[in-house]
Structures are given as structure tokens and as C-alpha cells.
Amino acid sequence: MYVRDTIAAIATPLGNGGIGIVRVSGPQAEQIGQVVFTGPGIVGGGGFESHRLFYGRLRHPADGRQLDEGMAVLMRAPRSYTREDVLELHCHGGYYLIRTVLEACIAAGARLAEPGEFTRRAFLNGRIDLVQAESVMDLIASRAERSLQLAHAQREGHLSRAFFAMKEPLLEALALVEAHVDFPEDEVDPTVFAVVEQQIALVLSRVEQLLSSFSTGRVLRDGVSALLLGRPNVGKSSLLNALSGTDRAIVSDLPGTTRDLIEETISLDGLPVKVIDAAGIRSHHTDCIEEEGVRRALDKVAEADLVLLLLDGTTEQHDELPALTAGLGAVPYLLVVTKADLPQRINLSLLTAPLGVCHVSSRNRAGIDHLSRLIYDYFVQTNRLSSDESAVISSVRHRDILLRVLQSLHDFTDSAAQGLPPELLALDLRAALSALGEITGETSTDDLLDVIFSSFCIGK
């Protein structure tokens, strides 16, 4: 049910940005603005002028305390993103501060927006269409530049074009079949079925091609995960910090400091990579808390897209290696030899791995860029992602639609092979078109008749 209440949310990414924006949408937006924001331009001028940025102070409605100085802009309906009255409050960027401004808006009568609710309103109010809406949702969810590019490309229509490119041959095939059904006495050549089957084979290959882009598309949007695995004190946390450039993981020289999983999302040339730092693995544990951590690390292996298997370059013995690589199963891994800034005693014959070996020093950053490049290349092979021009699907909904198209086309091929009559073949083609129609829009009977009458000389 679509209720026209007023919603509010933090519009900027969480983190330490220079500024933060709280966005409010709905009929009470202006009223809320007047409660939480006071500025000379507004008090003196008798309210907000639409689409004008005002300077002023943010206050909490409960006790009137001043929260911050900031800017506010009101965009009156329908000239706003949601086509409702939209208020944006710009304040300084600290997480706690933004959170307080949001609370102030809620105290003034707004409701906390559900994820994606602004876009949903924009969609419901006819501001954007479904493909755009989904693309915007991806845009919001994407955390890195590459994803942004993909989301933009989708909005620009690469994907739309790819879907429409499938629709046309499907429609032509259906027209051939329907002409055969509806005009038995007109001279519709029965050999048309050879053409139909060719058309369908063509579409099938396009569907499969697009479907195969899904993993790439998903990788670009959701990002990928890489799990750091290795003996205690091999330098996993240091590597995480080196890769991400922060000191989030607690680093110490005491083995077993990391007892929980620590995740950090890093951006490798625009590719979001969630690096998971797990507890060290060794055969004898000194306490049971760590035991739990190790178990969880091994559980995580199956979910990881890539494992970085760390070996200490300063030690000679690596008895754990065969057992570890066996435990990884099918999960691909990179061998990372750590502590390259110290004298190396590792047995070089150990160092073979299908995806490559990399020597790094987290302390002086030697080899870190090379490792980043290896990780990036693994996920974004240049041949898997040819260029910005290619259509890539990243939404699960699009994938599901394509899977339904695929299924219907396989049904068609089977039915045709069994020699089923054309009205049943038409059913499969219609199912495929109708699935596709969820993206490209309905195919009307008139579209179909247009194709029939322009392809065949029909009529008594």
C-alpha cells in the first residue's frame, strides 16, 4: 500500500566524508525543514523558496539545541527526484552528526525510509521507469566506480538495446508461426519453419551470452570476496591493512590476535573487493575462543570467490600447506609469501600455484600493488569484460527473466523437434516474448500483426 507519509534517510555514504546529506521526501518535508532548520533567508523571507540553497543552523526539535551549521534546500513537487516535496539538509560529514540530524527529522515527524524507498516513490510517481529504477537501486548499492559506470551504461540503454535485439527476431519468428496458423489458405510457405528455427537459435545464443555476463555484472555490482588464510602471525591482518590502507585490524606480534572475522571492502581500480581476515589456522589451539574463530574461517572458505593463502617467507617449514590446499577444494587461491622485507628462508620449490605467487611486504608495501593487480586481473579478465560498450546484466531480476526466456526457447526447440502443431509452438514463443516484455514492454497483438502483414501477402 502506498501511503503518502514523509520519509527521511541519510543520502550520502556512511563514512568520513566532508559533508553529509539527510534527505526528506513527502508532504511534510517543508514543515520538517522549518522545524529543524533556521536560517536568516527563511525566517525573513517567509519560508523556503523552491530549489534555492539556504544557509542556516540545524536544531533538534526536542530540546532546540543547535546541532551544526549547514545548508538546506527544498525542492517542491513535482520538480524533484520523487516528484514529492523533497528537503535536503547538508551538514558536516561525521557519522554521529549525520545520525543526529536524521533523528531530528524523525522527531519532527518523518519516518525512517526503507532501503530504496526514495527510488520506489520516484517509480510509483512515474518519475522513472522500472529499468531505470532498478538501475538506480544498483547505483545506490554500488560502492565503487566501475559499478557506477555499469549502472550508468544500463540507464543509457546498452542493456535495453541488447534486450530489444532479442525481441525482434522472436517477434518475427512468432509472426511466421501465427501466419501459418491464421491464414491456412493464403500462400504461407510451410518451409518458414526452417527460418523460425534459425531465428530461435540466434536468440538462444544471445540469451546465453547475456546470461554468461551475469557473473561479471554481479561481480561489478556486489563486488567479490577474498579470504585471507594462513598460519597465525603469518601477517594476514597486516596485509589487510596494507591492501586497504587503514588500521582496522588489530595487528600485534602475538599469534592469534585476530579472533573474529574482520571484513574490509577495498576498491581495486574500481572493483569492490571484500577482504576477509580470518583467525590464523594451526594444529594446536591455546584457547577455545580462537578455536571457534578458526572454524568460522574454514566455513568462510566455501563462500569466498578467491583465497589468498599466506605463507611466512621467513620460515622454512610449511607442513600445513598440502592439508590447506586440499581443504580449499575448488576455491581458487593465490599464494602470497609475506614478510619479503626480512631474510627469506622459504623453500622455493613449494611456490607453485595455478593463479600465481606473489611476494609482499606489508611493512614497506613491496609487492602490494602487484598483488592488487593479480586479484583484479583474476576477477576482471579483459576478455570477460571487453569494454564499456558491452551489455552486462547485473540484476538478479534480469537474470531470472533471461532464464525464463531460455527455458521457453528450449521448450520451443523440443516441441518443434517433436513435430507439435504451430499453435503450441506459438505458446512457447509467446511465453518468451512475454518474459522479455517485463523489460522491453509488452508486445501488442498489433505489433505482431504488423510483422505478419508486412511479411506476407495475406487476404481474401
Can you give the binding site for another protein, defined by CB under 8 A? 1-2, 4, 83, 123-126, 129-130, 178, 181-187, 421-424, 426-427, 430, 444-446, 448-449, 452-453, 457-460
Q: Which is nearer to another protein, 277 or 428 (CB)?
A: 428
Q: Which is nearer to another protein, 4 or 370 (CB)?
A: 4
Q: How far is the CB of 198 from another protein (least distance, A)?
A: 21
Q: How far is the CB of 418 from another protein (least distance, A)?
A: 8
- The single-letter code of the amino acid at 166 is M
Q: How far is the CB of 276 from another protein (least distance, A)?
A: 40
Q: Which is nearer to another protein, 46 or 126 (CB)?
A: 126
* Distance in angstroms (rounded) separating the CA atoms of residues 258 and 241: 13
Q: Which is nearer to another protein, 17 or 441 (CB)?
A: 441
Q: How far is the CB of 421 from another protein (least distance, A)?
A: 4
Q: Which is nearer to another protein, 184 or 354 (CB)?
A: 184
Please say whether the beta carbons of 100 and 63 come within 8 A.
no
Q: How far is the CB of 308 from another protein (least distance, A)?
A: 46
Q: Which is nearer to another protein, 61 or 437 (CB)?
A: 437
The residue behind cell 581458487 is: 332
CA distances from 185 to 68, 122, 175, 181, 193 (A): 80, 51, 16, 10, 17
Q: How far is the CB of 4 from another protein (least distance, A)?
A: 6
Q: How far is the CB of 128 from another protein (least distance, A)?
A: 9
Q: How far is the CB of 127 from another protein (least distance, A)?
A: 9
- The single-letter code of the amino acid at 52 is R
Q: How far is the CB of 202 from another protein (least distance, A)?
A: 22
Q: How far is the CB of 113 from another protein (least distance, A)?
A: 17
The residue behind cell 555499469 is: 150
* Distance in angstroms (rounded) separating the CA atoms of residues 53 and 72: 6
Please say whether the beta carbons of 133 and 122 come within 8 A.
yes
Please report how many Cα atoms fall inside a 13 Å half-sphere around the Cα of residue 406, on the Cβ side.
14
- The single-letter code of the amino acid at 302 is A
* Distance in angstroms (rounded) separating the CA atoms of residues 176 and 180: 6
* Distance in angstroms (rounded) separating the CA atoms of residues 37 and 89: 8
* Distance in angstroms (rounded) separating the CA atoms of residues 216 and 171: 29
Q: Which is nearer to another protein, 91 or 122 (CB)?
A: 122
CA 238 to chain centre: 28
Please say whether the beta carbons of 22 and 102 come within 8 A.
yes
Q: How far is the CB of 445 from another protein (least distance, A)?
A: 5
Burial class (CB in 10 A: 0-12, 13-18, 19+), 359: buried
Q: Which is nearer to another protein, 185 or 253 (CB)?
A: 185
Q: Which is nearer to another protein, 14 or 181 (CB)?
A: 181
The string of DSSP letters for 220-276 reads: HHH-EEEEEEESTTSSHHHHHHHHHTS--S---SSTT---S-EEEEEEETTEEEEEE
**Total length of the chain:** 460
Q: Which is nearer to another protein, 48 or 456 (CB)?
A: 456
Q: What are phi and psi of 63, to 5 degrees?
A: -120, 5
Region of residue 245 (phi > 0: left; psi between -120 and 50: alpha; otherwise: beta)? left
Q: Which is nearer to another protein, 127 or 363 (CB)?
A: 127
